[in-house]
Amino acid sequence: MTDLRVAPCSHEAAEYAVMHWHYSRRMPVGKLVKFGAWEGGQFVGSVIYGRGANKSLSSPYGLDQTEVCELVRVALTDHQVPVTQVVGATLRRLREVGGTGIRLVVSFADPAEGHHGGIYQAGNWLYLGRTASKTDYVLGDTKLNRRAYTGQQYGKPGSKAALPVGAKPVKVAGKHRYAYPLDRAMRRQLAPLALPYPQPADEGSTGAATPSRVEGQVRSLVSAP
């Protein structure tokens, strides 16, 4: 059996993993909780939690901002332990180093990148449908930072850059939304809203549950006496 060790790691180690082993090649900003993963003493990557780019991340669940975080990066090189096991180990550590107030972890799988959330399904996360579709911008073969051109830069309200000449808008399907409750009460609250897991063949479908319907159900459930 491969010896797996998960522990908090430095910003430099996490950034190295993201820049070399994550498809985005972009380190998230803001307050982060960064874990490193080692197999047999060899550094094999990082799993990072943060507030994400959505300042309303907690609102659909009736929770305070301090009670919800987002799994923002899973950046691993070649490894033997299943990804789900690595993520599961970091979730257990998150309870210890992230404070006892965190009750829910949210993450998103982007079908535009060929992801449907297999690692979350294997880890018993709850599937809560898709986010709303959006418009991205491309310049030739390069995908641009959408938020820079829509006035939605996180931390910079109202900022908006001029689109480069030749940039074109492209409609993109919403991301798959998964949630992992860190306590039993939170799981009991959200379990009735869990939808069947999407499969890779479902990427072209928006599914029966729209984001507004799912979020509305969450709000009504958590606000019920």
pLDDT of 87-98, one tens digit each?
Answer: 999 999 988 775
Measure the CA–CA gap between 178 and 176, rounded to whole angstroms: 7
Say if residue 149 is exposed, middle or buried (CB neighbours under 10 Å; 0-12, 13-18, 19+).
buried
Q: What are phi and psi of 34, to 5 degrees?
A: -115, 125
Counting residues of the chain whose pLDDT is more than 90, the rounded percentage is 48
Q: Which residues fall within 8 angstroms of residue 129, CB to CB, at 6 or more apart?
A: 176, 177, 195, 207, 209, 210, 211, 213, 214
| In the chain, where the domains are located | 4-130+174-204, 134-172
Measure the CA–CA gap between 7 and 26, rounded to whole angstroms: 22
Per-residue confidence (pLDDT) for residue 210, from 0 to 100: 40
Q: What are phi and psi of 24, to 5 degrees?
A: -75, -30
Beta-bridge partners for 143 = 138
- DSSP strand pairing (68-76 vs 104-109): parallel
Comparing 55 with 62, the larger pLDDT belongs to 62
pLDDT digits (tens, 9 = 90+) for 56-87: 788 888 888 889 999 999 999 999 999 999 99
Cite the DSSP H helix spans in 64-205.
83-97, 118-122, 146-150, 184-190
Is the per-residue pLDDT at 143 higher than 80? Answer: no
Element (H, E) at 18: helix 11-21
Say if residue 158 is exposed, middle or buried (CB neighbours under 10 Å; 0-12, 13-18, 19+).
exposed
pLDDT band at 218 (very low <50, low <70, confident <90, very high): very low
Which CA distances in Å does 136 have to 150, 169, 221? 9, 6, 33
CATH for the 4-130+174-204 domain, from 3.30.420.40, 3.40.630.30, 3.40.50.300, 1.10.3720.10: 3.40.630.30
Which CA distances in Å does 206 have to 162, 174, 212? 31, 8, 13
Measure the CA–CA gap between 179 and 170, rounded to whole angstroms: 28
DSSP designation for 141: T
Average pLDDT score, the chain: 81
Give the Cβ contact number of residue 198 at 10 Å. 20
